Amino acid sequence: MSRRHHNAQISVIDPRRYQNCTIMLSKLKLSHREIRAALMAMDEKGKLPKDMLEQMLKFVPSKEEIVLLKNTVNRHKSPSVLAVTDRYLYEMAQIPRFEHRLRSLYIIRTFQERFDCLTPHIQSVTKASTAVSSSKKFKQLLAIILALGNYLNFGKRNGNAYGFDLTSLNRLCDVKFADRSDRTLLHYLLQIIESRFPELGKLKKELAPIYDASRYNRNDVLAEIRSLEQSITTVRSELALVKEEITQHEDSAENIKVKNEESDDDNRKDRFETVAKQFISTACQQYHLLEKMHSEMKAKFTACAAQFCFDSASPEEMFNCLAKFFTSFSEAQQQIWAENEHKEQVKRQTIARSYFAKKVSRRRENNERDFDQLISALQSGDLFKDDLSRLRISFRMRKKNPTKL
* pLDDT top residue among 349 and 109: 109
Q: Is 57 within the bounds of a domain?
A: yes
Distances (CA, A) of 325 to 319, 376, 387: 10, 76, 86
CA-CA distance, 196 to 212, in Å (whole number)? 30
Give the 3-state secondary structure of residue 208. coil
pLDDT of 405:
37
Phi/psi of residue 223, nearest 5 degrees:
-65, -40
Q: What percent of the chain has pLDDT over 70?
A: 80
Q: Is 298 within the bounds of a domain?
A: no
pLDDT digits (tens, 9 = 90+) for 356-368: 666 666 666 666 5
CA-CA distance, 152 to 172, in Å (whole number)? 12
Number of domains in the chain: 1
pLDDT at 123 over 70: yes
pLDDT at 140 over 60: yes
pLDDT digits (tens, 9 = 90+) for 159-182: 778 888 999 999 999 888 877 778
CA-CA distance, 22 to 20, in Å (whole number)? 5
Q: Which residues of 90-129 are buried (b: 16+ CB within 10 A; e: fewer)?
A: bbbbebbebebbbbbbbbbbebeeebeebeebbbbbbbbb
CATH number at residue 26: 1.20.58.630
Q: Is 118 within the bounds of a domain?
A: no
pLDDT at 352 over 80: no
Q: What is the mean pLDDT of residues 66-72?
A: 94
pLDDT digits (tens, 9 = 90+) for 183-214: 899 999 999 999 999 999 889 899 999 999 99
Q: What is the mean pLDDT of residues 29-37?
A: 92
What's the half-sphere exposure (Cβ side, CA atoms, 13 Å) at 119? Answer: 14
Band of pLDDT at residue 220, cut at 50, 70 and 90: very high
Q: Is 102 within the bounds of a domain?
A: no
* pLDDT top residue among 33 and 246: 33
Phi-psi region of 4 (alpha: psi -120 to 50; beta: other; left: phi over 0): beta
Q: What is the mean pLDDT of residues 41-59?
A: 93
pLDDT of 345:
81
pLDDT digits (tens, 9 = 90+) for 224-233: 999 999 999 9
pLDDT of 396:
55
pLDDT digits (tens, 9 = 90+) for 300-342: 999 999 999 888 778 999 999 999 999 999 999 999 888 888 7
pLDDT of 303:
95
pLDDT at 377 over 80: no
pLDDT of 265:
54
CA angle at 168 for the pair 162 and 174, rounded to the nearest 5°: 130
Task: Report DSSP state, residue 184.
Answer: B
Q: Which residues of 362-385 are buried (b: 16+ CB within 10 A; e: fewer)?
A: eeeeeeeeeeeeeeeeeeeeeeee
Q: Is 73 within the bounds of a domain?
A: yes
**Could you tell me where the DSSP H helices lie in 77-97?**
84-93
Which amino acid belongs to residue 343?
Answer: K
Q: Is 387 within the bounds of a domain?
A: no
Q: Is 55 within the bounds of a domain?
A: yes
- Residues whose CB is less than 8 angstroms from the CB of residue 376 and which lie 6 or more positions away in sequence, other chains included: 382
The mean predicted confidence, pLDDT, of the chain is: 85
pLDDT of 154:
82
The boundaries of the domain holding residue 13 are 3-95
- Residues whose CB is less than 8 angstroms from the CB of residue 221 and which lie 6 or more positions away in sequence, other chains included: 118, 121, 122, 294
Radius of gyration of the chain (CA): 45
Q: Is 360 within the bounds of a domain?
A: no
